[in-house]
């Protein structure tokens, strides 16, 4: 491919910051009961059927057949301010007040306790996702454009109560992933429109993974939990096209096969839940994500030849959370929590495609008991990210300076029913 087109692709990563500002493009939002305490204690607290996602070894703590349906609305506030350019374009032309659109993240779970030893469960939810959008005529279109990835995890699990203290679980996961990347020409000296699509790549794939869980009941008031989820290999297999003419490396809007391989990282979580008295419980978690598996992006366009390789150099990250429940009365349980997310991004590889940063969660929630063995969960989280300053250089050696800020609000509602 022509070096001009190659530079346009390589300057923009196919993955960018998620709407929810979790580490890189990881989503924490698998339920609303956990949202209210910043997802503290997710591997040890047996709230409802959503334990299928974070530790299915807890399914044996739930009686009968249970159903949970959740929806979380994410309202991000990710903005960019230009700090300078090396090509004479005013820095103010780089300003963008909203590069991440709002999104709704749904989830549904069901569990069934067969007997004192065996329980099964299933869930449909998402653990990775993102969306960023820039105007078609954004001057730095080579490194901006539109980026989107959607994943849907459909999993089934079985748990076994070994004795009064230990329970274990094994699950199988089917992951569907869909991705889209669009890059525009931006400011250029080729006599072409800035809004011209220089890169348009869409593809999807499915993959399989597994997860294991362990729960240890210390006594009736104290429990520890551990959950591990394996890596999942995804090949976004689809089509590539470019509006640029073939003379400068484009396809003249003709589609050719293209794909990108990525590895969704492994995840491990250790949690504890402790009932202090009849009304109050405390929870905590440490969650590890193996982002070191995401070290580079390589795209294959047309034949088996590599079109570009972009180093990401992610590092493994940790998430720390603490939270509490308070039973206000027979009908209302209150929740609150805080969390700190480490960013896996290398400070030397920051870009407007991945304006990732460490962030702090402040969460609140409540559970309301309804008639007929049903409950409603409400949750809200405020996320505050650090301000980042960085310079991104494109293949033409133009330098684009940015200051990025990333905050978000998450609102959630969940319905639970026991049959």
pLDDT of 109 higher than 70: yes
CA 165 to chain CA mean position, Å: 33
pLDDT, average across residues 239-252: 78
> What local confidence, expressed as pLDDT, does residue 22 receive?
53
Distance CA 339, CA 361 (A): 5
pLDDT, average across residues 5-10: 47
**Confidence (pTM):** 0.88
Q: Does residue 302 or residue 69 have the better pLDDT?
A: 69
pLDDT of 7 higher than 70: no
Indicate the pLDDT class of residue 310, thresholds 50, 70 and 90: low
pLDDT, average across residues 65-79: 91
pLDDT of 6 higher than 60: no
Distance CA 416, CA 419 (A): 10
Indicate the pLDDT class of residue 255, thresholds 50, 70 and 90: confident
> What local confidence, expressed as pLDDT, does residue 32 receive?
96
pLDDT of 294 higher than 80: no
Distance CA 60, CA 114 (A): 9
pLDDT of 9 higher than 70: no
- The torsion region of residue 54 among left (phi > 0), alpha (psi -120 to 50) and beta comes to alpha
> What local confidence, expressed as pLDDT, does residue 374 receive?
95
Distance CA 350, CA 388 (A): 9
SS3 336: strand
pLDDT of 269 higher than 50: yes
pLDDT digits (tens, 9 = 90+) for 110-143: 999 999 999 999 999 999 887 888 888 888 877 7
CB distance 410 to 76 below 8 Å: no
Indicate the pLDDT class of residue 13, thresholds 50, 70 and 90: very low
pLDDT, average across residues 199-222: 93
Most confident of 210-219, 355-364, 378-387: 210-219
pLDDT digits (tens, 9 = 90+) for 89-104: 888 888 888 777 888 9
SS3 27: coil
CB distance 343 to 356 below 8 Å: yes
The token pair that represents 292 in the structure block: 């070191």
> What local confidence, expressed as pLDDT, does residue 274 receive?
97
> What local confidence, expressed as pLDDT, does residue 129 receive?
85
Residues in the chain: 419
SS3 36: helix
CA angle 104, 71, 123 (to 5 degrees): 110
Phi, psi for 307 (deg, rounded to 5): -85, -40
Place of tokens 């990525």: 262
pLDDT of 301 higher than 80: no
| Average pLDDT of the chain to the nearest whole number | 86
pLDDT digits (tens, 9 = 90+) for 39-54: 999 999 999 999 999 9
The token pair that represents 235 in the structure block: 């090949």
pLDDT, average across residues 251-279: 90
pLDDT of 3 higher than 90: no
Q: How many CA atoms lie within 13 A of 175 on its CB side?
A: 27
> What local confidence, expressed as pLDDT, does residue 357 receive?
80
> What local confidence, expressed as pLDDT, does residue 259 receive?
82
Residues 6+ apart with CB under 8 A from 112: 64, 65, 66, 119, 120, 121
Indicate the pLDDT class of residue 16, thresholds 50, 70 and 90: very low
The token pair that represents 369 in the structure block: 């008991």
pLDDT of 336 higher than 80: yes
pLDDT of 270 higher than 60: yes
């Amino acid at each position: 491919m022509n070096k001009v087109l190659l530079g346009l692709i390589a300057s923009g990563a196919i993955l960018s910051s998620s709407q929810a500002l979790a580490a890189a493009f990881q989503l924490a939002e698998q339920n609303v009961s956990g949202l209210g305490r910043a997802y503290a204690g997710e591997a040890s607290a047996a709230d409802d059927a959503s334990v299928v996602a974070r530790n299915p070894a807890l399914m044996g703590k739930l009686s009968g057949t249970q159903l949970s349906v959740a929806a979380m609305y994410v309202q991000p506030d990710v903005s960019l301010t230009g700090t300078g350019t090396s090509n004479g374009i005013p820095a103010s032309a780089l300003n963008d007040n909203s590069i991440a659109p709002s999104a709704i993240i749904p989830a549904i779970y069901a569990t069934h306790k067969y007997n004192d030893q065996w329980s099964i469960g299933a869930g449909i939810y998402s653990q990775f996702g993102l969306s960023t959008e820039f105007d078609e005529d954004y001057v730095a279109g080579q490194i901006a454009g539109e980026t989107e990835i959607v994943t849907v995890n459909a999993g089934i699990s079985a748990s076994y109560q070994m004795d009064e203290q230990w329970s274990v679980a094994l699950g199988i996961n089917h992951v569907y992933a869909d991705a889209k990347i669009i890059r525009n020409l931006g400011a250029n000296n080729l006599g072409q429109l800035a809004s011209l699509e220089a890169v348009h790549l869409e593809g999807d794939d499915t993959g399989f993974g597994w997860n294991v869980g362990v729960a240890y009941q210390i006594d009736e008031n104290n429990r520890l939990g551990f959950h591990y989820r394996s890596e999942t290999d995804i090949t976004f297999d689809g089509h590539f096209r470019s509006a640029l003419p073939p003379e400068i490396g484009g396809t003249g809007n003709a589609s050719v096969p293209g794909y990108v391989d990525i590895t969704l990282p492994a995840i491990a979580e250790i949690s504890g839940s402790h009932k202090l008295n009849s009304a109050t419980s405390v929870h905590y978690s440490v969650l590890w994500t193996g982002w070191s598996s995401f070290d580079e992006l390589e795209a294959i366009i047309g034949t088996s030849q590599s079109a570009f390789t972009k180093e990401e150099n992610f590092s493994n990250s940790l998430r720390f959370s603490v939270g509490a429940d308070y039973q206000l009365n027979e009908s209302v349980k209150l929740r609150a929590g805080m969390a700190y997310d480490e960013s896996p991004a290398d400070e030397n590889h920051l870009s407007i495609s991945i304006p990732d940063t460490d962030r702090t969660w402040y969460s609140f929630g409540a559970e309301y008991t309804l008639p007929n063995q049903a409950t409603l969960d409400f949750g809200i989280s405020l996320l505050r990210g650090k301000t980042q300053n960085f310079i991104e250089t494109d293949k033409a050696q133009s330098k684009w300076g940015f200051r990025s800020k990333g905050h978000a609000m998450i609102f959630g509602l969940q319905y639970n029913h026991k049959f």
